[in-house]
Chain A
Amino acid sequence: MESFSLDCQQLQEYQPNRYPFLMIDHVEDVLPGKYARGFKNLTLNEWYFPVHFPGGPNMPGALQLEAMAQMLTVAITTLPDLKGKVTHALEHHVRFRQEVKPGNRLDIDAQVISWRRGICKGKAVGTVQGITVCEAEMTITIPEILETFLPKKA
Chain B
Amino acid sequence: MTNKEKYAQVFVETFEVEPNVLDENFVYQCIPAWDSLGHMSMVAALEDTFDIVMDTEDIIDFSSYTVGMEKLKKYGVEF
Interface residues of A (CB under 8 A from B): 90-91, 116-119, 139, 141, 146-154
Contacts and interface: CB of A to CB of B under 8 A. Distances in A.
Nearest to A119: B40
A68 B39 CA distance: 25
The secondary structure that dominates the A interface is mixed
Interface residues of B, number: 17
A154 B30 contact: yes
Contacts of B29: 153-154
B28 to A, nearest CB: 4
Nearest to A152: B63
Interface in B13-37: 27-30, 36-37
B30 A151 contact: no
A154 B63 contact: yes
B77 interface: no
B40 A151 contact: no
Contacts of A116: 40, 44
* 5 A-B pairs closest in CB distance: A151-B63, A154-B27, A151-B28, A90-B37, A149-B59
